[in-house]
Amino acid sequence: MIRFLLRRLLWFVITLFVVMSVSFVLMRSVKGGPFDNERVLDEVIQRNIEARYNLDWPLWKQFLQYVGPINLDDDGARWFVRDEEGFHLAKGLHWFQDGKLLVQDPGVDAFTGVLAGDFGPSFRYKDWTVNEIIAQSLPISALLGMVAMMWALSLGISAGIASALRPGSKLDLSMRLAATAGIALPNFVIASFLIILFVFLIPLFPVAGWGTLRHMILPGFCLGLVFAAYIARLTRTGMLEVLSQDYIRTAHAKGLAPRTVIMRHALRGGILPVISYLGPATAGILTGSLVIESIFFIPGTGSHFVNSATNRDYTLSMGVTILYTVLVYTLNTLVDLAYTFLDPRIDLESK
C-alpha cells in the first residue's frame, strides 16, 4: 500500500510538471494576449500594462516566476546584494533573529509562484487573485458536483438493478432506452426542457441562480443525468454477470429471500464496475459543469476553466488547470484504493 502511494506520488509530481509546462507554452503560443482589446491602445500604455504583469520578461523567466518558489521580481526579494561592504545577504533578510525564524522584510515577498501556493493575480478580473477566485468558486462547484453525483448514483443504480432483475422485460427496455437517451441528449437540451416544465409551466424551482437547496435540484439533475445513464448501464451489466454466478444460485437454494440475495450477495460484485467509473465520472462532472453553470447562472469553477482560455487570462487558466489536475489525480487514486477494499482479488502492489 505504501509503495503504491509513493509510486503514485512520484507520477503525480511528473504529471503536474508536464501539465504545467505544456499548458504554459500552449497558452502563450496562441495568438492574442490578455490585454488585447477592440480599442487598440497607445503603444506606451500597452507596454505599461504589460510591464505591470511582467509580460515584458523573456518567456523562461515568466515561467520560473510562475512556478516559483523564488520571487524574481526586482521589487520582490533581493536575496543577495553587493555593496561597499561586499557580497552579503540582503538587508532585512534575516533567517534568525532573537531565536525566531524570519524570512523577509514586510513589503517584499521572497516566495511566490505555484510552489509557494500562489497562483498570482487574475489578468481579467483584476480585483481578485486566482487563489481568491478558486476559493470562492470551488466550494460551489463541489456542492453542485455532489448533488449531481447523488442524482447519478441513486438514479443509475436503482435503474440498473431494476433492469438486471428482469432482462428483456418492458421495464428493462424502457430503462435502457432512457439511459441511451440520457447519454445521447446534450445536457443543455435537457436543461431547457426541465426549465420550461418546472419553472414556467409548474413553478417549482427558481429559473437560475445559486443560494438555496431549491437552486441546486435542477442543475444537479441535469449535470448528473448523463452519468446516471452510464451508471445504469454499468450496474445492469455487472448485476447480470453476478446473477449468473453459482454462488447466487446457492444463495437462492438455501432459501434466502430474493431481496436478501440481491441486496447482500449480488449487488456487492455487481457495482464494482460502477466504483471504477466513479473516478472518471467525478472528473467529468467537475470539468463538464461549464454548460450547466452558464445556463443556471452558477458562479462555479467550471466556467473559469473555459472562459479564462478565451480571455487569455493566463494565470486563471493555469490555476484552474492545475487545480483540476490535482483533483482528478487524487480522486483516481482514491478510487483505486476503494477498489482494493471492495474486491479482495485486486492487489495494487503486484502491478
Partner 1 sequence: MQTDSGLALRQLVAFLLLLGVLAGAVLLARGARLEPADFTFNNGTEVQTLDPATVTGVPEGRVIRAIFEGLVIKDPRTLEPLPGVAESWEISADGLTYTFHLRPDARWSNGDRVTADDFLYSYERFLSPATGAEYAYQLWYVRGARAYSTDIDDHGDPIHDFSSVGIQAPDESTLVIELEAPTPFFLDLMAFYPLFPVNRRGIEEAKQRFPQTWTTEWLKPENIVTNGPYRIAFRRVNDRIRLVKNELYWDRDNVAFDTIDITAIEKDSTMLNFYLTGEANFIDRLTSNVVPQMMPREDFNPVPYLGVYFYRVNTQKPPFDDPRVRRALWLTIPRQTICEKIKKMGEVPASSLVPPLPGYEGARARPGDADEARSLLAQAGYGPGGKPLPTIEIHYNTSEAHRDIAEVIAEAWAQELGVNAKLLNQEWKVYLDTQTNLEFDVSRSAWIGDYADPNTFLDMFVTGGGNNKTGWSNAEYDRLIHEASRELDREKRARILHDAEAILMEEMPILPIYFYVTQNVVDPRLGGFYENVQDEHFPKFWYWMDDEELAAKRAAYPDDGRHEWVTSHGPHEGKYSPAQLRRRGARQ
- Of residues 72 through 91, those in contact with partner 1 by CB under 8 A are none
* Closest CB to partner 1 among residues 167, 299: 299
Tell me if 350 contacts partner 1 by CB under 8 A.
no
Phi and psi at residue 82, to the nearest 5°: -115, 120
* Closest CB to partner 1 among residues 12, 339: 339
Size of the site for partner 1 (CB under 8 A): 77
Neighbouring C-alpha atoms within 13 Å toward the C-beta of 154: 8
Tell me if 29 contacts partner 1 by CB under 8 A.
no
Tell me if 312 contacts partner 1 by CB under 8 A.
yes
Rg, the chain, Cα only = 27
User: Which of 1, 13, 40, 101 touches partner 1 by CB under 8 A?
Assistant: 40
Phi and psi at residue 94, to the nearest 5°: -115, 125
Q: How far is the CB of 143 from partner 1 (least distance, A)?
A: 5
Q: What is the dihedral of CA 186, 188, 192, 195, to 10 degrees?
A: 110
Interactions with partner 1, residue window 115-134 (CB under 8 A): 121, 124-129, 132-133
Tell me if 276 contacts partner 1 by CB under 8 A.
no
Phi and psi at residue 81, to the nearest 5°: -130, 155
Tell me if 250 contacts partner 1 by CB under 8 A.
no
* Closest CB to partner 1 among residues 124, 233: 124
Alpha helix ranges (H) inside the chain: 2-29, 43-52, 59-67, 130-165, 170-184, 187-195, 213-243, 246-253, 258-260, 267-270, 272-287, 290-295, 302-310, 314-342
Cα distance between residue 139 and residue 141, in whole Å: 5
Tell me if 199 contacts partner 1 by CB under 8 A.
yes
Q: How far is the CB of 17 from partner 1 (least distance, A)?
A: 26
* Closest CB to partner 1 among residues 171, 338: 338
Where does residue 281 rank: exposed (0-12), middle (13-18), buried (19+ CB within 10 A)? buried
* Closest CB to partner 1 among residues 60, 200: 200
Q: How far is the CB of 22 from partner 1 (least distance, A)?
A: 20
Tell me if 283 contacts partner 1 by CB under 8 A.
no
Q: How far is the CB of 206 from partner 1 (least distance, A)?
A: 7
* Closest CB to partner 1 among residues 31, 170: 31
Tell me if 315 contacts partner 1 by CB under 8 A.
no
Query: Coil, strand or helix: which one is 97?
Result: strand
Q: How does strand 100-101 pair with strand 80-83?
A: unpaired
